[in-house]
């Protein structure tokens, strides 16, 4: 077994345990003694270059970045950075114009003279003369300074570290690690003094060489590096005395809960209580479907008393279009769907087609490995498909108003068409990031300092992505046919620049024409070209420029003869699907877990290196194995996580877990992702009808924006998405998406015109509430409703006047309901009638009219008193020329403040307000200039709370 195999084992198990290694057979004490002890005095043995000399140079810092390991070297002398290029290091030490080893006078070797400051050395003293380090290097020089023999390449078996875990109980407690290397030859040696040690969290554990000292409570790892091995050792110091029998009973209804609580018991951490229904509903809706729950949904969930309502809600969310939209966006982040990198591909449709292709598979819940297969093994043309038929199909996808669907194609060819994914190195880096969750870019130039990968590993892995075989562009055999298509379109590439050709093709395809299209194709392996045998080229080396890679090596795996494969990528896909693949399933599981818990089981999620072990290795093992056993079912994984008690814990901490953010003892509040935040702001301010519509139609949602350009989709703000940290998809790093809070985000929420317009816009929720109360957005009575009310009031008053006048003609009418204008008019009429009756000496009529006039003047006095004016000022000396319209005051708006406060909380914070919040909010509305202004202020305040913008 090689060091590479060892590294894979270490990565999958998380720790190296002493009891995992068979007992050494017939080893003497001398054979397992420390090299530091043996060379503390003259030793008879000859040091080995790989086992002793190279690790020692790394231990004392000679091959570090600041010293001779830099690319320029130091003092006209260079070593490989962090070692492991044994041939180069040995050659530079022993050969050339400035060798560091003097074989004729070993004591005069510069490697000894400079390191001990016997002669000036800018790197300072690295060790003392007559130290064990000095004696190792001197002995090696005295015995011929041999290098690495071919038969001893990669012959280490395993690194045994004792103790395999460290458990401390108090600050200042110490323990010493012992590291023993087991070599394939049977040699067993204590290499502690040659190892490099690193603490992943010095707040928990500090170190001085192999001596580890406990600091603050918590957990971390000490990373031990020797040769090509990197092994983490778990360090635990409990945060409380709740250990063993003192640990309280905690429910563990699922396997996830069991594994999480097992780790918490080691740390003395008690998990928080289970979250309430409103908290759970908001959290799972945002995490799983990228959407705030609708107010009606919150009310229904809170009133549901069934015991399985949470499981049913998870299943319901998994079937919503918003689930597919949000997780498609997440997969587009990982796979790198970037407009700029596809600038000359697909004529502005490629990013949307990329999104649609993935979304189609997420909707149908295609197994993750099948989805990945469609990317990894993508090819443009189906078997037997002609170039003309291919161009016709691709052109139809880009025709304006087309109903053809790119998502139904078998492969996502655009993944291989990006401008930053053309060379073998770019592809190796991107593939490792996307599908393996590891960072191998360091190994492009040197040995990876925190993982097992060497530069040779990187180069061999790149052989699977040979651009001479896997190409995106013009298929050579179809060039003549493509030129004929261009001619038929009236396009002459030789007479036009590239931009003009592109614009002409885009116009043609938009107009419904067929255009020649680039494609992704795989060619046969190209053999080496023999050297030309003519006299001019005689003796020159073979021309390798056109040669394809013959072999490639899987990371930590076997060598594959790719020249014999029709498509080198098939070996990669087969390897990804192997059950013992240490990365593929784990990388996806870890990223999904991080979506729900703020951090991954391995964090950062794209750094699954040996030096960055999982915080809970058994948990990661369980989920990865279950994911594979359930046929890479993505919905199984979401369901398994969301239905666990661990996911449903409250964010409210207790005394033991208030500082815990990596062991999953509580929910960690985290800012909403950019797309979800933008949609939440819009949903909080839109009508109930629009909320219901956006649950089923996600086409106008930010979570369905396909690309990365600084523009939104159908009005979606690219600026807002940028401010809140949408993934730029520019590099091989999950850090392309930011979850950090910033001042710009606060300014946007408080002052940006877009947010204020959303709150105040016509057709929004405020408008809906105002209309229901008979008001406008300005707080004034609604004009249309006021006009209708006025017409009704006038008709009613006119009827009243007619009835009163008819009664008064008989002298016994009720004048108490007459308005001012009618009273004035009737007084004039009846005074004239009284004068005529007096002249006619009609006593009966005079008495009746006198009684009516007394009643009218009494009513006139009442009306005058109501307006604080004397009756004389209301007297009418002549009949009005036209009948005056009655004054009608509109009814006061019917605005139920307590009700709208509850609705405001439900649509923003996804919970009912407390009694205190209701009282405070209603008072705010009543004290505002008008109720609508008060409601606007309340909604603005809720959108600007931490509770709104944070998922808890």
| In the block, residue with structure tokens 């046969």 | 524
Tell me, yes or no, whether 165 lies in a domain: no
As a whole number of angstroms, the distance between CA 631 and CA 562 comes to 28
171 in any annotated domain: no
* Nearest-angstrom CA–CA distance, 818 and 805: 9
Q: Which tens digits make up the pLDDT trace of 148-174? A: 765 555 556 688 999 999 999 999 999
Same domain, 396 and 515: yes
Is the domain of 817 the same as that of 763?
no
Which of residues 526 and 232 earns the better pLDDT score? 232
Same structural domain for residues 346 and 366?
A: yes
Q: SS3 for 573?
A: helix
Per-residue CA distances from 305 to 277, 296, 761, 907 (Å): 11, 16, 38, 22
Tell me if 525 is assigned to some domain: yes
Sign of the Cα torsion 866, 872, 876, 882 reads negative
Model pLDDT, residue 331: 97
Q: Which residues contact 201 (CB under 8 A, 6 or more apart)?
A: 218, 220
Residues 156 and 3 sit within 8 Å (Cβ to Cβ): yes
- Domain boundary (566, 593, 613) is at 613
Instruction: Write down which residue in 119, 152, 185 finishes a domain.
Output: 152
Domain assignment present for residue 763? The answer is: yes
Looking at residue 469, its pLDDT comes to 93
Does the pLDDT value for residue 566 go beyond 90? yes
Task: Report DSSP state, residue 512.
Answer: T
Integer Cα distance of 581 and 624 in angstroms? 10
Does one domain contain both 767 and 729? no
Same domain, 461 and 386: yes
Q: Is residue 189 one of the residues assigned to a domain?
A: no
Residues 625 and 557 in one domain: no
Q: Are residues 356 and 497 in the same domain?
A: yes
For residues 117 and 131, what is the distance between their CA atoms, to the nearest angstrom?
A: 13
Tokens of 794: 């006038």
For residues 112 and 928, what is the distance between their CA atoms, to the nearest angstrom?
A: 83
Q: Are 18 and 164 in contact (CB under 8 A)?
A: yes
| H/E stretch holding 454 | none
- What is the three-class DSSP state of 103? coil
How confident is the model over 201-250, as pLDDT tens digits? 999 999 998 999 999 999 999 999 888 888 999 999 999 999 999 999 99
Kindly report each contact of residues 399-407 with a partner whose C-beta sits within 8 Å and lies 24 or more positions away, as own/partner: 399/509, 399/510, 399/512, 400/510, 400/511, 400/512, 405/356, 405/360, 406/349, 406/353, 406/356, 406/357, 407/353, 407/356, 407/357, 407/359, 407/360, 407/361
Cis bond leading into 547, ω under 30°? no
At residue 764, φ and ψ (nearest 5 deg) are: -90, -175
pLDDT digits (tens, 9 = 90+) for 448-473: 677 677 778 888 899 999 999 999 99
Residue-wise pLDDT tens digits, 823-837: 887 788 788 888 888
Q: For residue range 61-94, what is the model confidence (pLDDT) as tens digits?
A: 887 777 877 767 777 787 777 777 788 888 888 8
SS3 178: strand
Comparing CA positions, the residue from 42, 44, 48, 45 lying closest to residue 181 is 48
Q: Is a pLDDT exceeding 60 seen at residue 868?
A: no
317, 358, 410 from 364: Cα distances, Å: 14, 10, 14
Mean pLDDT across 757-764: 92
Count the neighbouring beta carbons within 10 Å of the beta carbon of residue 578.
12
Mark whether 567 and 646 lie in a shared domain.
no
Residues 471 and 593 in one domain: yes
Whether pLDDT at 642 is above 90 = yes
Reference 460, options 527, 559, 569, 582; nearest CA is 559
Q: Total structural domains in the chain?
A: 5
- pLDDT at 813 > cutoff 80: no
The answer to whether residue 469 sits within a structural domain is yes
Q: Is residue 106 part of a domain?
A: yes
Same domain, 550 and 677: no
pLDDT tens-digit series, residues 352-362? 999 999 999 99
pLDDT at 247: 96
How many angstroms separate the CA atoms of 62 and 85, rounded? Answer: 14
Please name every residue paired with 223 in a beta bridge, in sequence order, or none if there are none. 198, 232
Residue given tokens 């009966």 in the structure block: 844
Task: Show the domain range for 379.
Answer: 330-529+546-613
**Mean pLDDT score across all residues of the chain:** 85
Q: pLDDT tens digits, residue range 4-45?
A: 344 333 333 333 333 333 334 445 444 577 888 888 888 788
Point out the domain boundary residue: 613, 630, 651: 613
In the predicted model, is pLDDT for residue 799 greater than 80?
Answer: no
Q: How many helices (DSSP H) and strands (DSSP E) are in the chain?
A: 35, 16
CA distances from 442 to 404, 583, 593 (A): 44, 18, 26
For residue 867, the tally of other CB atoms under 10 A from its CB is: 9
Q: Do 933 and 827 fall into the same domain?
A: no
Q: Report the pLDDT value the prediction gives residue 3, as an integer from 0 to 100.
A: 39
Within a domain: 600: yes
Based on the fold, state whether residues 34 and 142 are members of the same structural domain: yes
């Amino acid at each position: 077994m090689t060091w590479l195999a060892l590294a894979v084992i270490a990565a999958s198990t998380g720790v190296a345990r002493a009891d995992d290694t068979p007992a050494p057979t017939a080893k003497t004490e001398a054979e397992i003694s420390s090299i530091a002890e043996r060379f503390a005095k003259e030793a008879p043995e000859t040091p080995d270059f790989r086992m002793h000399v190279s690790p020692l140079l790394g231990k004392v810092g000679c091959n570090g970045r600041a010293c001779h390991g830099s690319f320029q070297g130091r003092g006209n002398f260079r070593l490989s950075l962090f070692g492991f290029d044994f041939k180069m290091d040995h050659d530079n030490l022993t050969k050339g114009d400035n060798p560091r080893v003097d074989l004729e006078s070993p004591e005069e070797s510069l490697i000894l003279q400079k390191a001990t400051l016997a002669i000036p050395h800018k790197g300072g003293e690295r060790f003392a003369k007559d130290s064990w380090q000095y004696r190792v290097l001197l002995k090696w020089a005295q015995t011929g300074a041999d290098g690495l023999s071919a038969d001893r390449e990669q012959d280490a078996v395993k690194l045994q570290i004792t103790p395999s875990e460290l458990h401390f109980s108090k600050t200042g407690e110490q323990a010493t690690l012992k590291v023993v290397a087991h070599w394939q030859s049977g040699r067993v040696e204590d290499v502690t003094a040659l190892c490099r040690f690193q603490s992943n969290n010095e707040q928990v554990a500090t170190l001085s060489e192999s001596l580890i000292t406990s600091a603050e409570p918590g957990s971390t790892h000490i990373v031990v590096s020797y040769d090509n091995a990197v092994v983490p050792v778990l360090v635990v110091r409990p945060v409380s005395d709740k250990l063993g029998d003192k640990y309280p009973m905690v429910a563990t209804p699922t396997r996830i809960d069991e594994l999480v609580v097992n780790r918490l018991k080691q740390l003395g951490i008690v998990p928080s209580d289970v979250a309430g229904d409103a908290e759970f509903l908001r959290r799972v809706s945002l995490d799983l479907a990228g959407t705030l729950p609708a107010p009606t949904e919150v009310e229904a969930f809170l009133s549901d008393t069934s015991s399985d309502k949470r499981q049913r809600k998870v299943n319901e969310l998994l079937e919503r279009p918003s689930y597919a939209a949000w997780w498609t966006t997440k997969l587009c982040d990982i796979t790198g769907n970037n407009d700029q990198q596809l600038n000359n591909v697909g004529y502005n449709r490629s990013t949307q087609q990329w999104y649609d292709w993935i979304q189609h598979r997420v909707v149908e819940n295609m197994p993750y490995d099948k989805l990945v297969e469609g990317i990894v093994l993508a090819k443009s043309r189906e078997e037997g498909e002609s170039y003309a038929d291919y161009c016709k199909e691709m052109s139809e996808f880009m025709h304006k108003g087309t109903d053809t669907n790119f998502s139904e194609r078998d492969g996502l060819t655009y993944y291989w068409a990006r401008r930053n994914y053309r060379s073998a190195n770019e592809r190796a880096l991107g593939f490792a990031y996307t599908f393996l969750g590891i960072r191998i870019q360091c190994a492009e130039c040197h040995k990876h300092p925190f993982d097992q990968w060497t530069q040779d590993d990187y180069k061999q892995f790149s052989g699977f992505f040979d651009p001479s075989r896997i190409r995106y562009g013009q298929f050579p055999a179809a060039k003549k046919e493509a030129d004929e298509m261009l001619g038929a379109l009236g396009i002459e590439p030789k007479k036009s620049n590239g931009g003009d050709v592109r614009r002409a093709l885009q116009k043609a395809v938009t107009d419904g024409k067929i255009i020649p299209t680039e494609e992704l194709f795989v060619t046969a392996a190209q053999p080496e070209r023999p050297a030309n045998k003519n006299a001019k080229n005689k003796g020159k080396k073979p021309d390798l420029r056109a040669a394809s890679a013959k072999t490639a090596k899987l990371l930590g795996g076997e060598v594959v003869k790719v020249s014999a494969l029709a498509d080198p990528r098939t070996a990669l896909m087969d390897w990804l699907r192997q059950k013992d693949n240490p990365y593929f399933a784990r990388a996806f599981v870890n990223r999904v877990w991080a979506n729900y818990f703020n951090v991954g089981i391995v964090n950062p999620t794209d750094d699954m290196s040996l030096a960055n072990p999982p915080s809970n290795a058994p948990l990661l093992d369980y989920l990865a194995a279950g994911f594979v056993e359930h046929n890479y079912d993505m919905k199984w994984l979401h369901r398994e996580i969301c239905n666990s008690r661990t996911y449903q814990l409250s964010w409210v901490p207790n005394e033991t877990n208030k500082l815990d953010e990596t062991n999953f003892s509580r929910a960690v509040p985290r800012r909403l992702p950019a797309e979800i935040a933008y949609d939440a702001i819009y949903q909080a301010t839109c009508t109930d009808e629009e909320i219901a519509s956006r649950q089923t139609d996600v086409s106008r949602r930010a979570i369905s924006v396909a690309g990365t350009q600084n523009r939104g989709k159908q009005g979606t703000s690219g600026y807002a998405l940028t401010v809140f940290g949408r993934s730029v998809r520019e590099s091989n790093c999950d850090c392309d998406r930011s979850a950090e809070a910033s001042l710009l985000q606060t300014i946007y929420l408080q002052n940006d015109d877009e947010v204020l317009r959303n709150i105040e816009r016509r057709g929004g929720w405020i408008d809906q509430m105002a209309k229901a109360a008979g008001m406008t957005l300005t707080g004034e009575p609604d004009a249309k409703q006021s006009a209708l009310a006025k017409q009704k009031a006038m008709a009613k008053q006119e009827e009243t006047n007619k009835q009163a006048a008819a009664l008064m003609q008989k002298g016994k009418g009720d004048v108490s309901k007459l308005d001012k204008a009618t009273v004035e008019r009737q007084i004039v009429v009846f005074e004239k009638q009284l004068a005529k009756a007096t002249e006619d000496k009609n006593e009966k009529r005079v008495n009746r009219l006198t009684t009516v006039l007394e009643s009218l003047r009494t009513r006139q006095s009442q009306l005058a008193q109501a307006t604080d004016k004397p009756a004389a000022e209301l007297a009418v000396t002549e009949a009005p020329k036209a009948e005056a319209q009655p004054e009608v005051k509109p009814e006061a708006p019917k605005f139920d403040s307590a009700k709208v406060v509850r609705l405001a909380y439900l649509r923003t914070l996804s919970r009912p307000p407390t009694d205190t919040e209701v009282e405070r909010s209603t008072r705010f509305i009543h004290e505002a200039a008008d109720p609508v202004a008060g409601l606007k202020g309340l909604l603005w305040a809720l959108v600007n709370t931490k509770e709104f913008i944070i998922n808890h």
